Structure 1
Amino acid sequence: MPQIQERARTETRTASCQCGAVRLELTGKPIVAATCYCQSCQQAGQGFEALPGAPTVVGADGGTPYVLVRKDRLAWLSGSEKLGEHRLKPDSPTRRFVARCCNAPIALEFTRGHWLSVYSDRIAAEERPAAEMRTIVGDRPAGIELPGDIPNYRTPSGKFLWRLLTAWAAMGFRAPPIEATKGYAG
């Protein structure tokens, strides 16, 4: 058992922007890999995609894939000064980090939470965990049918919330801050 725990703690992934200037190291097993269909993720993703040279964020089915990681298990390796912050509303507790160098969204943070949702496509394919569930599928675009290969939840499921809670407990019920970034003019 100790070997399994040690391996989970030392597992690492790197997330980066398109040009590689911004890099983030993720250590340990992710909380969950999920695809979100909420209106906010669709709206923000479509806005990012309209920026010059920006990558695709929202899938053809309206979903945005994320890998959720504990905030105490991430480190900016390079380029954090190139990050911009985007909020759909000025007082929103949700902010998205975007690499200003190449307009690539990197991650989403619920500022009061203990996790960071990294855009899955920012992680190299060979390191990227497969989505385990789809969440808030009730907000997907009209006419989109989702396959049954993984669970499709209309709202955040008990399993999703349990994973967040157990990660928070493992962190001693702390929510470390993420370093501040300059305002994003996107």
Structure 2
Amino acid sequence: MTRGEDEMTRTAACQCGAVKLEMVGEPIVAATCYCQSCQTAGHGFEAMSGAPEVVGADGGTPYVLMRKDRLQWLSGPDQLEEHRLTPDSPTRRFVARCCNSPVALEFTKGHWLSVYSARIPEGERPPAEMRTIVGDRPAGVELPDDIPKYRAPTGKFMWRLLKAWVAMGFRAPPLEATKGYAG
């Protein structure tokens, strides 16, 4: 991972601090997802002993999407456990076994990692810029108009993913390529 001297560095960590992930640079986007997959997985994680809240009262799960080439495990990658909703799911979520904290979600063919926003300290956490897949939110939930909300991934969202991929030279490095991953 290369880093410019003036690039922002954030750290994400499980709730006990054993697993730490360094993120360098600006995120691709900070968003809250309301899809059924995020709700199902999040509620499943919340049922684990001592696990933190994952899904908000409005049904949303806040994430910060980061380029995979801007990530480095600082500690505890051997504590990560992979979870998939189905065996053939292209999405895998990583939970720290030490404290049952969901840390991140990876679309395995993608060039980004979606870090659960709650794993980033409040002072470093970028605010959500948009809400996605809002049609899947729980019945009766009204969302405020403070940020844009979309029923599906938008052109703006996809454009940001494309720009990040171009900046990465059209590479999609496997997460295992990041330093220290023992998965």
RMSD, aligned α-carbons: 1.1
State the SS of the aligned residue for 2:74. Answer: strand
Residue 169 (1) aligns with residue 182 (2): no
1:17 aligns with 2:14: yes
Q: Report matched runs for 1:83-162 at 5 Å.
A: 83-162=80-159
Q: Which residue identity does 2:118 align to in structure 1?
A: D
Structure 2 unaligned blocks of 5 or more: none
TM-score normalized by structure 2? 0.94
State the shift of 1:95 in Å. 0.1
How far does the alpha carbon of each residue in 1:13-59 deviate from its partner, in whole angstroms, 9 at most, with x for none?
00000000000000010000000000000000000000000000000
Equivalent residues in 2 for 1:19-98, closer than 5 Å: 19-98=16-95
* Distance of 2:30 and 2:141 partners within structure 1: 21
Aligned-pair distance for 1:96?
0.2
Distance 1:108 1:41 in 2: 10
- Structure 1 outlier segments of 4+, above 6 Å: none
Query: TM-score scaled by structure 1?
Result: 0.92
Total equivalences in the alignment: 176
Q: Distance in 1 between matches of 2:38 and 2:65?
A: 14
Amino acid in structure 2 at the alignment position of 1:30: P
Q: CA deviation at 1:181?
A: 5.3
Determine helix, strand or coil for the equivalent of 1:107: strand
The alpha carbon displacement at 1:6 in A equals 6.0
Tell me how far apart the structure 1 counterparts of residues 144 and 131 of structure 2 sit (CA, whole Å). Answer: 10
Partner SS state of residue 81, structure 2? strand
